[in-house]
Amino acid sequence: MAKWKELPHPDCVDRNKIASDGLSTSYYQIPSHAQELRHLISHKAMSKSRGDIFKACYRLGEKAGTETLYDLNKMKFFIDDLIEMHNRGEHL
């Protein structure tokens, strides 16, 4: 039986670095189609954990029925998850 060659996910290695002079840089440009956070999450190919951090940070303290600490704890949980994923070489 033929064996498939396992290829690492392209994002398992560090991302391509973009030079910055401390001013606005291309990685801060928002794509023209982006109307909501979900578009940015998709455009940057974020994992679920990374997207959840992004959303919780954006709405920090604004979610009805929850305290700010809810969002902070959520970010902390998913940051720990990203660290584990990074250590396993998974897509972030």
Full-model pTM: 0.74
Q: Render pLDDT for 15-47 as a digit per residue (tens, 0 to 9).
A: 677 777 777 777 788 889 999 999 999 999 999
| Of residues 27, 22, 73, 78, the one with CA closest to residue 50 | 78
Mean pLDDT of 44-61: 95
Angstrom distances, CA of residue 11 to CA of 6, 7, 46, 56, 70 = 14, 11, 10, 23, 29
**Kind and range of the H or E run holding 48:** helix 48-58
Q: What is the pLDDT of residue 7?
A: 47
Q: Where are the domains of the chain?
A: 62-92
How is residue 16 annotated by DSSP? P
